[in-house]
Amino acid sequence: MMAAPTDIRAPALTPEQLRNRRRRNIAIALAIGALVAFFYTITIVKLGLNVLRPDP
Amino acid sequence: MSAFDTTMSADSARYSTGPEVYLRLLKPRVMSLSVMTALAGMMVAPGHLNLALGLIALVAIAVGAGAAGALNMWWDSDIDGHMARTRLRPIPAGHVQAGEALGLGLILSFFSVVTLAFAANALAAFLLAFTIAFYLVIYSMWLKRTTPQNIVIGGAAGALPPMVGYAATSGSVTLDSALLFAIIFVWTPPHFWALALVKQGDYARVDMPMMPNVKGRPRTKLEILAYSIALAPLGVAPYFTGLGGAVYGLVAAVGGAIFLGYAWRVYRSDDGVEANRIAMAMFKYSIGYLFALFATLIGERTVAFALGWL
């Protein structure tokens, strides 16, 4: 016999909670974006002129 | 606690699950002192670090220090709710769960150490990882709840950032960077015990073995004075090793004398409201003193760089 399907829907969020979740998501996106920018900058600076103008 | 306070904390629990709560897990005020001392370490160190890499390294050190704060709040969330000073921290206030602080702390620790390794060097990254591990394991988990020497030894974690910064620029650990470490290390006990004198009841409630609770107030005041006597000349030492200039020497000498004055007044104070007022004043002054020392080091180097450009 099959068990009755369980309702797994998340409880409805209040507008307040939805707004805060959106702000958290934006903050995480900014943090990850900053990390990407940092690694990109580190790469460019370390390669830097050595690649553009290698020692003769 | 007044009804007003209750309403405030209940409201903030409902509305404050935004990103700023996670920022509070990083202990921004402690972070700012770490950034300041790390920047001073970076600037006084010999060697050259590209400006962009230096800024990234500084952010990495700041985030690493914040991560240590989040891990500390995770571990101490059981007692923080019982102390007036800490009961509004995000976890005891119910804004975030302890597991979230742990996750945030671990993730930020990892990325800050890796980023510092790439932006600066492996030694600096190792020192940052050591700082975080020391603060969490040696201080928070072990010493804090077992010995009145907790903040003396644990203070090493707070004293390491200038060494991390110094290593980021120079790739080395030297006597000069050890001197910056020593200043903060010796500064920590009188700084914290001045607060512990005021918050003695708080610490007693959670059975935390702070110096005033274990050895008594007179002994604490004596040790505050002893550490202050050691600190005042130590603060001036960078002037004599050439790390700091004349302005630094002056700031450190005057600042150290005032520091000693506070320690003396705390030592001579009776117990009561007035004694707590002096101890609290000393606590606040001690923060300004450390800020002033490292800000002067930074200022002197900034002026020197600026003159070099002209």
B18/A16 touch (CB, cutoff 8 Å), yes or no: no
Q: What pLDDT, on a 0 to 100 scale, did the predictor assign at position B188?
A: 96
**Assigned domain for B205 exists:** no
Assess whether B165 and B186 both reside in one domain. Answer: no
Share of chain B above pLDDT 70, in %: 95
Which pLDDT does position A54 carry in this prediction? 58
Chain B contact present for A42, CB below 8 A = yes
The pLDDT, as a whole number, for residue B174 is 95
Mutate to test the interface with B, among A20, A22, A30 (most CBs of B within 10 A): A20
Residue B75 lies in a domain: yes
pLDDT at A4: 62
Interface test with A, best of B15, B20, B51, B56 (most A CBs within 10 A): B56
- CB-CB: which of B17, B22, B119 is closest to A42? B119
Interchain pair B115, A39: CB under 8 A: yes
> Which of B202, B195, B198, B200 lies closest to B213 in space, CA to CA?
B200
Residue B276, domain CATH:
1.20.120
Identify whether residues B186 and B150 lie together within a single domain.
no
B102, B69 Cβ separation under 8 angstroms: no
Residues B107 and B194 in one domain: no
Q: For residue B230, what are the domain limits?
A: 174-200+210-310
Is B59 in Cβ contact with A24 (below 8 Å)?
no
**Structure confidence by residue, pLDDT tens digits, A5-22:** 666 776 778 888 888 889
Co-location of B106 and B188 in the same domain = no
Average pLDDT, chain B: 91
Band (pLDDT 50/70/90 cuts) for residue B59 is very high
- Percent of chain B surpassing pLDDT 90: 77
Structural domain count, chain B: 2
Is there a single domain that holds both residue B142 and residue B192?
A: no
pLDDT at A51: 72
Q: Are residues B148 and B186 in the same domain?
A: no
CATH code of B129's domain: 1.10.357.140
Q: Collect all residues with Cβ–Cβ distance below 8 Å to B161 and sequence separation of at least 6.
A: B34, B35, B37, B38, B41, B61, B65, B131
Query: A52 falls in which pLDDT band (50, 70, 90)?
Result: low
Over 80: is that where the pLDDT of B147 sits? yes
State ipTM.
0.81
pLDDT digits (tens, 9 = 90+) for B72-115: 999 999 999 998 889 989 999 888 899 999 999 999 999 999 99
Residue B272's pLDDT is 81
Q: What is the pLDDT of residue B11?
A: 43
| Whether residue B158 sits in one domain with residue B126 | yes
| CA-based nearest residue to B42, from B53, B31, B32 | B53
> Does any CB of chain B come closer than 8 Å to the CB of residue A23?
yes
Identify the residue among B50, B97, B108 best suited for mutation to test binding to A, counting A beta carbons within 10 A and taking the highest: B50
Q: Do the chains contact at A17 and B17, CB–CB below 8 Å?
A: yes
Per the CB < 8 A criterion, the answer to whether B64 and B128 are in contact is yes
CB contact under 8 A, A23 and B50: no
Q: Does A45 touch chain B (CB under 8 A)?
A: yes
**Are B217 and B251 members of one domain?**
yes
Read off the tokens for A48. Answer: 């830097």
Residue B169 in contact with residue B47, Cβ under 8 Å? Answer: yes
Do B33 and B136 fall into the same domain? yes
Q: Say if residues B227 and B190 touch (Cβ distance below 8 Å).
A: yes
> Is the domain of B185 the same as that of B273?
yes
**Residue A14 phi, psi (nearest 5):** -75, 160
Distance in angstroms (rounded) separating the CA atoms of residues B300 and B309? 14
The pTM of this model reads: 0.88
**Quick check: A13 contacting B, CB < 8 Å?**
no
Domain-embedded: residue B138: yes
The answer to whether A41 contacts B17, with C-beta atoms less than 8 Å apart, is: no
SS3 A7: coil
CA distance B215 to B203: 13
- The confidence score (pLDDT) of residue B10 equals 41
Smallest Cβ distance to B53: which of A19, A23, A42?
A42
